[in-house]
Structure 1
Amino acid sequence: MVDLLEELLLLAVHEEKGTLSFAVTSKIDFCLSGALLIELELRNRVKVNKTSLEVIDRTPTENTRLDILLNLIDNSKRVRSPSYWVTKTKGTFKHLRREYLEQLVDQGFLREEECQTLWIFPSTAYPLRDNRPKREIRDRIRLVILREETSSPRTAQLIALVHACGLTNTLFEKEERNEARKRIKTLAKENILIQAIIKTIQGSNSGAYTGSF
């Protein structure tokens, strides 16, 4: 499992119910959009600072979504902020969450089940078919946070996304959470894209932004 979006969704989906909590639902689409930008940063295609996000390498990534986003940023008439690109990415990939959930179904990690919300509205749930990938991801994060093992850049970004998406409580026991929150918050504090994601979520909740299992 090498894709940040897949890992984040596996952590977010309830193992048996196949749904997302209400708190996570309000944040997940911004976090997934931000994760695409983080993927570009990890692949050294973009340079990010507090006021700008710019293309530094136009080489295709061989990932269709990332290449669309890379071209979108590269063709922008002016340099834009990370927060702008989080919002723009969310608007460009309107069905990103569903597409990635279905991708995880195709890979055999999730099942797709038709159900009803409030016993009335038809909806789709995605319970885990195989618990091992999620357990591996969770264990990797716990080792970094609780045992202070060295983190790879990709795992560090995933941990910061966990913070932005409000998933800390699902990964740690009650007695571990205070310590875990402090370490995760410290790790995320200097992460420019994560702070842009959080800022965009807060703006959306206050009505400053609009946009689109």
Structure 2
Amino acid sequence: MLDLLEELLLLAVDEEKGTIPLGVSGRIDFCLSGALLIELELRNRIKVDKKTLKIIDRSSTGHSRCDTLLDLIDRSKRVRSPGYWITTTKKAFKHLRRKYLEGLVDQGILREEERQILWVFPSTAYPLRDTLLKRELRDRIRLVILREEIPNPRTTRLIALVHACGLTNTLFDKDERKMARKKVKALAKEDQLVQAIMKTIQASNSGAYAGSL
């Protein structure tokens, strides 16, 4: 079973080009950091509201990065905001995107290709080797949004992250997008961590520091 970060990256990567669209690429690292925190929340290790993120269970999750992050939060001298921990996670887990992409390569889901941009600059692409998982992910989201199937908590959080990353249009046909955007946005609005991710992205784009609280 893929975790939220793997699912989000799989949805973001272009199947043939093996790259992440420019508009999404500027958001994805904040979303991946937030997704790691959401993993802790789904595993009932933290509790989040608009202003605070608190540990409620210090026991191991069995997920190495989640446990490392849980320990980092536990060592904080005071309770911090969700925005603070999104920013801190992004700094603490360097190259998170690349490491997760390489992990998907190791699982045989993506393949790694070395390329050159303008025949000069080296670049790595990650086209899909196995398209089945991505198709299943898209179908799972589309069933919730278009057919109002009741989602489990993990799918709900994934849909909210799709909104935060700006991926909605890539998952729906042109005639579906207006309605899909409305429903995806509504789900994201109820998610405190995703709202914090979006505020952190906005603050980063404006040059402000979102993790000051």
Which residue of structure 1 lines up, in the alignment, with residue 180 of structure 2?
180
Which residue of structure 1 lines up, in the alignment, with residue 133 of structure 2?
133
Does residue 164 (structure 1) correspond to residue 164 (structure 2)? The answer is yes
Consecutive aligned runs of 4 or more in structure 1 exceeding 3 Å deviation: none
Alignment of 1:191-210 (within 5 A): 191-209=191-209
Alignment of 1:24-35 (within 5 A): 24-35=24-35
CA distance in 1, matches of 2:111, 2:122: 16
- Once the two structures are superposed, residues 47-74 of structure 1 have per-residue CA deviations (whole angstroms, 9 ceiling, x without a partner) of 0011000100000111111111001111
- Once the two structures are superposed, residues 128-179 of structure 1 have per-residue CA deviations (whole angstroms, 9 ceiling, x without a partner) of 0010000000000000000000000000000000000000010000000000
Which residue of structure 2 lines up, in the alignment, with residue 48 of structure 1?
48
Which residue of structure 1 lines up, in the alignment, with residue 80 of structure 2?
80
- For 2:111, the aligned partner's letter is R
- Once the two structures are superposed, residues 36-57 of structure 1 have per-residue CA deviations (whole angstroms, 9 ceiling, x without a partner) of 0000000000000110001000
Could you tell me how far 1:117 is from its partner in structure 2? 2.1
SS in 2 for 1:115: strand
- For 1:10, the aligned partner's letter is L
CA distance in 2, matches of 1:65, 1:78: 22
Q: Please report the TM-score for the alignment, with normalisation by the length of structure 2.
A: 0.97
- For 1:196, the aligned partner's letter is A
SS in 2 for 1:20: coil
Could you tell me how far 1:209 is from its partner in structure 2? 3.6
CA distance in 2, matches of 1:127, 1:104: 11
- For 2:121, the aligned partner's letter is F
> What is the identity percentage for the equivalent residue pairs of Structure 1 and Structure 2?
73
Q: Please report the TM-score for the alignment, with normalisation by the length of structure 1.
A: 0.97
Which residue of structure 1 lines up, in the alignment, with residue 19 of structure 2?
19
Q: CA RMSD in A?
A: 1.2
Does residue 118 (structure 1) correspond to residue 118 (structure 2)? The answer is yes
